[in-house]
Amino acid sequence: MRQMFGLVTKTLTTRIVRSLHTTSQLSTLLVNESDGVRHVVLNNPKKRNVLSLAMIERLREVIVDSPSLRCVVVSSNGPVFSSGHDLKELTTQTSEEYHRKVFDSCGQLMLSLQKLNVPVICQVNGLAAAAGCQLVAASDIVIASDKSKFSTPGASVGLFCSTPAIPLSRSVNLKAAAYMLMTGNTITAYEALKCGLVSRVVSESDINSETQNVVNAILCKSKSVIALGKHFFYSQINQNLETAYCNGSQVMVTNLGLRDAQEGIEAFIGKRTPLWSHSTDRYK
């Protein structure tokens, strides 16, 4: 019964992704999947790729796991990666209930990035502000062009970036986060690299090739091993050192029991390329 339920779930997920792929090409969100890599492109440059409630909910629909998925790359069209929430949705013309829905849905989107079994790469080539910066901070890996800039300027319009502060303060040192949040000042790509907000900074002309290099490095690994490691990586951050080591030891033992772990070790010893199953099957 459990296997049947899993098969139905995977089938529905695949149908959702295929449906979005066929309909999104004329919209503000482009989705394309090939060879296990799902490219999600914010495509509303006229509105600075604003994260409206509709956009947030669509992102939640397309950033989901599927059996063949190995990696998600989030990027944008236009000079602004994302300017954050649509402030027109946050006036008294809409209700408090609607406002809560915006922030709750956005929070669920950010949480889903860490819960996803595969790495989420954010490719930034422009300004990432407020909730746009939140999306960057919530991603696993961030590749930025040297022209990119980052800010959390909410206090400047009377709305402190409290929810963007959550992943931001978990990505950068507290002094850097406080500077960004309390001044609203913009930092450069290299300043973002220095404080830990981004993983790599390259020239604009090299950003696609650098992103592909990162994708290739992920694709040559086992999906099940990456998933196991990713989930433990984030869970141990909030554990004390003794608990983290105790849990980490068990995760390593569990990892060794995977068929892919033994395949990788045998391939290394035999000086050959491993043949991954990408499954959670145990070694027999």
Kindly state whether residues 102 and 11 are assigned to the same domain.
yes
For the chain, what is the domain count? 2
- Of residues 92 and 11, more confidently modeled: 92
> How much is the pLDDT for 233?
98
- Provide the CATH number for the domain around residue 103: 3.90.226.10
In a domain, 228, yes or no: yes
Amino acid at 118: V
- Average pLDDT, stretch 99-125? 98
Kindly state whether residues 95 and 120 are assigned to the same domain.
yes
Tens of pLDDT, residues 126-141: 999 999 999 999 999 9
Tens of pLDDT, residues 35-92: 999 999 999 999 999 999 999 999 999 999 999 999 999 999 999 999 999 999 999 9
Q: Name residue, tokens 């944008």.
A: 76
Kindly state whether residues 105 and 59 are assigned to the same domain.
yes
> How much is the pLDDT for 283?
85
Tens of pLDDT, residues 140-190: 999 999 999 999 999 999 999 999 999 999 999 999 999 999 999 999 999
In a domain, 124, yes or no: yes
Kindly state whether residues 151 and 176 are assigned to the same domain.
yes
In a domain, 277, yes or no: no
Kindly state whether residues 190 and 262 are assigned to the same domain.
no
DSSP line for the chain: -HHHHHHHHHHHHHHHHHHHHHHGGGSSEEEEEETTEEEEEE--GGGTT-B-HHHHHHHHHHS---TT--EEEEEESSSEEE--B-GGGGSTTS-HHHHHHHHHHHHHHHHHHHHSSS-EEEEE-SEEETHHHHHHHHSSEEEEETT-EEE--GGGGT---TTTHHHHHTTS-HHHHHHHHHH---EEHHHHHHHTS-SEEE-GGGHHHHHHHHHHHHHTS-HHHHHHHHHHHHHHTTS-HHHHHHHHHHHHHHHHTBHHHHHHHHHHHTTS------S-PBP-
In a domain, 79, yes or no: yes
Tens of pLDDT, residues 197-249: 999 999 999 999 999 999 999 999 999 999 999 999 999 999 999 999 999 99
pTM: 0.90
Kindly state whether residues 129 and 92 are assigned to the same domain.
yes
> How much is the pLDDT for 26?
54
Kindly state whether residues 195 and 256 are assigned to the same domain.
no
Residue range of the domain that includes 101: 2-219
Kindly state whether residues 164 and 265 are assigned to the same domain.
no
In a domain, 284, yes or no: no
Q: Which two tokens stand for residue 242?
A: 């003794």
**Neighbour tally for 174: CB within 10 Å:** 8
Kindly state whether residues 253 and 151 are assigned to the same domain.
no
- Provide the CATH number for the domain around residue 248: 1.10.12
In a domain, 136, yes or no: yes
Kindly state whether residues 208 and 243 are assigned to the same domain.
no
Kindly state whether residues 169 and 233 are assigned to the same domain.
no
- Average pLDDT, stretch 263-270? 97
